[in-house]
């Protein structure tokens, strides 16, 4: 069982930066054994993959739309996952969700645990 709590969202101007954090509390299984992902959902749209990181942090994956602008990272000893977002655009506006699963994948169905989300709004 994993509980995830996101933070760090807010309102930012286009071109600005934000860092999202996801704090995990795991029972029965070590946090460091979970792959982690970030997804986002804009109003009226499906929840979409943003980034993922393997359990060790050795490999990362990104949606084409954020590649080169966003960076996912984790600190297992702190049970934390981060999403550094630079050069933000209005189309990045969405609720951002942290998720935990067995595999670092773009498929949201493969993630077992989800946070409650944090709103990111980018103004033009």
The 10s digit of each residue's pLDDT in 42-101 is 999 999 999 999 999 999 999 999 999 999 999 999 999 999 999 999 999 999 999 999
pLDDT of 27 above 90: no
| Residue 36, token pair as written in the block | 């982690």
Distance from CA of residue 88 to its chain's centroid? 15
| Residue 30, token pair as written in the block | 């070590």
pLDDT band at 28 (very low <50, low <70, confident <90, very high): confident
| Other Cβ atoms within 10 Å of 93 Cβ, number | 18
């Amino acid at each position: 069982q994993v509980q995830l709590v996101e933070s760090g969202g807010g309102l930012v101007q286009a071109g600005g930066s934000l860092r999202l954090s996801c704090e995990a509390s795991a029972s029965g299984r070590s946090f460091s054994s979970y792959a982690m992902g970030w997804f986002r959902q804009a109003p009226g749209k499906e929840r979409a993959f943003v980034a993922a990181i393997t359990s060790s942090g050795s490999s990362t994956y990104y949606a084409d739309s954020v590649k080169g602008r966003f960076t996912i990272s984790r600190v297992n000893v702190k049970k934390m996952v981060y999403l550094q977002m630079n050069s933000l655009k209005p189309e990045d506006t969405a609720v951002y969700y942290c998720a935990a699963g067995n595999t670092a994948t773009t498929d949201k169905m493969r993630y077992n645990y989800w946070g409650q989300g944090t709103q990111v709004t980018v103004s033009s």
